Each structure stands twice: as C-alpha cells, then as structure tokens.
Amino acid sequence: MGRFDGKVALLTGVASGIGRATALRLSSEGASVFGLDIDAEGLADVTTAIESESGVISTRVTDVRSVQECRDAVDDCVSEMGSIDILGNIAGIAWQRHVVDVTEDDWDRMSDINVKGVFFLTQAAIPHILESHGNIVNIASNAGLMGMAYCVPYCSTKGAIVNMTRALAIEYVRDPIRVNAIAPGGTDTSLVANFEMVEDADFSLMQNCVGYRPPAPPEQIAALFAFVASDEAGNIHGSILSADSGLTAA
Ligand SMILES: NC(=O)c1ccc[n+]([C@@H]2O[C@H](COP(=O)([O-])OP(=O)(O)OC[C@H]3O[C@@H](n4cnc5c(N)ncnc54)[C@H](O)[C@@H]3O)[C@@H](O)[C@H]2O)c1
C-alpha cells in the first residue's frame, strides 16, 4: 500500500527541480499526477520517467500567470482524474537585481508567477479539495522568512506565500482540509544553477543567505512534501516547515 494510493495530485512546476522530484515521489507512493508547467519538453520528460515506473501522469502546458489557464487546468484535472486530493504550488522563479534596476515588467512577472498563480490556482481547486478532504502544500522559501540583499521582489513574493498559507489555514480551520508551506533553503535545481546575480554584488551583505552546507537534493524537499501531504501529517495545518540546513536558524 502506498500513502497516496487512489489519490490525485495536481502539481505545478513538474518539468524541473523540486516539482519534478515531487511528481516522481508522489507517483512512487501511488498518486496519479496531473502536472502543469510552461516547459513542454520537461513535461514530456517527467511523463516518460513516471510511466517507465508504471505510474500515472497527465500533463498540461499551463502558464500559472493566467487565471483562465489555472481554472482550465483544475477543470481538466477533475474531469480526467476524478478529484484533487493534493494541490502542490511549486512553480516559481528567482533572480537578483538592485532595487533601483527592477522594472515594472520584472516585478509583474515575478509576482504573477510566484503569488498570483498560487492564489488563483488555489481558488479554483479549493471546492474540489473540500470535497476530497485533501490538502495544499505551497513551496515558499527561506527568502520568505528572512531578508536577502538584491532579492527584494523574490523575498516579497515568498513572504506573501508564507502569509497566504497562514491566512488560508485560518479561513478553512473548521473544514476538513489542510494548508501548509515548505520553506526550502538552497536546493540543487536549475533555479540555482542558472541564478541571475547582480554583477557588482557586495558579498558581505549576502553572508546571511549563503548558508553553511551545500545545497540539498530536490528529492529531500520532495520527501518532506510527501510527508506533509500524507495522512501521517494530520495535525499539521497552517505550518511553515523549513528545510534549509540551518539557514534561518541563525
Ligand atoms: N532551488 C532552490 O534553492 C529553492 C529554494 C527555496 C525555494 N525554492 C522554490 O522552489 C520552487 C521550485 O523551484 P526549483 O528550484 O525546483 O526551480 P526550477 O527552475 O528547477 O523549477 C521551476 C519550474 O517552474 C516552472 N515555471 C516557471 N514559470 C512558470 C509559469 N509561468 N507557469 C508554470 N510553470 C512555470 C519552470 O518551467 C520550472 O519547471 C520555486 O517556487 C522556488 O522559488 C527553490
């Protein structure tokens, strides 16, 4: 018996990194995955990986910035797979800029992906999660719990996810659903490998977010996601769970 036998997980960002690792992990424990991403090639790749292990996955190229695409994805998930038991809001972007260099387009793109997409996908999915007595796991960040130089927009969006999670948890505290967030620290994904840094960064300002240990494999975040999303975590509600090798302990 897998912890997610008969369950449907609607996950964003499954083409890469933490989302891909989470799709593989939940599938390995019996979940049917409905995976969203803008990266069609990555979606095809995760589909092959899951199907080669006899798992069940369906994907949609979806830009979470579009409210209509989020609503369509929820409708498609329910009509194709029958329910939504787990919603994982995982897709996100990150970069550094000096505050004075952030354009309106930069700000809108980051907040639309990291915050607006999470809100409207959640809004569309909640009636189905109430029906299935399911749960929501948002991927926040250590950046939502601390200040990081040159990351004002990213920290703002991840702080929003932290408090969106808490506010949702309180609004639905009398209902049989759970809402939580994971706040990873440095994780070994393409987001870190391709991280766009400011060229003239003052590294002495960045010591608080460099950390003391190497980046974690995304599978470790996926393992925590699987626990939080499972019935074993029945009283974990409204929690922000750090998985950051001590980064925010200081
Ligand atoms: N890697 C880290 O160190 C780290 C640390 C803390 C938090 N996080 C968070 O973890 C989450 C996953 O990041 P990751 O490290 O796996 O990065 P990643 O770049 O490997 O994966 C992010 C995925 O999101 C998808 N995506 C981007 N824009 C999208 C859009 N508009 N619509 C749909 N999908 C879109 C990308 O195509 C990609 O597949 C993000 O929310 C990120 O902020 C990552």
Catalytic-residue membership of 154 = yes
Q: Which two tokens stand for residue 175?
A: 């209902």
CA of 92 to the centre of ligand 1 (A): 4
pLDDT of residue 92: 98
pTM: 0.98
| pLDDT tens sequence for the chain (250 residues) | 899 999 999 999 999 999 999 999 999 999 999 999 999 999 999 999 999 999 999 999 999 999 999 999 999 999 999 999 999 999 999 999 999 999 999 999 999 999 999 999 999 999 999 999 999 999 999 999 999 999 999 999 999 999 999 999 999 999 999 999 999 999 999 999 999 999 999 999 998 988 899 999 999 999 999 999 999 999 999 999 999 999 999 8
d(CA 216, CA 195): 16
Catalytic residue among 150, 154, 172, 212: 154
Burial class (CB in 10 A: 0-12, 13-18, 19+), 111: middle
Q: Whose CA is nearest to atom 14 of ligand 1?
A: 17
Q: How far apart are CA 29 and CA 76, in angstroms?
A: 23
What pLDDT was estimated at residue 210? 87
Sheet of 240-243, strands arranged across: 56-61, 32-37, 8-12, 86-89, 135-139, 178-184, 240-243
Domains of the chain: 8-238 (3.40.50.720)
Mutate to test the pocket of ligand 1, among 60, 90, 191, 194 (most ligand atoms within 8 A of CB): 191
The Å distance, Cα 1 to ligand 1 centre, comes to 30
Residue 218 CA: which ligand 1 atom is closest? 16
Say which residues have a Cβ less than 8 Å from residue 141's Cβ, sequence separation at least 6.
Answer: 92, 94, 154, 158, 161, 183, 184, 185
- The rounded Å distance from CA 119 to ligand 1 centre is 16
By alpha-carbon position, which residue is closest to atom 7 of ligand 1? Answer: 141
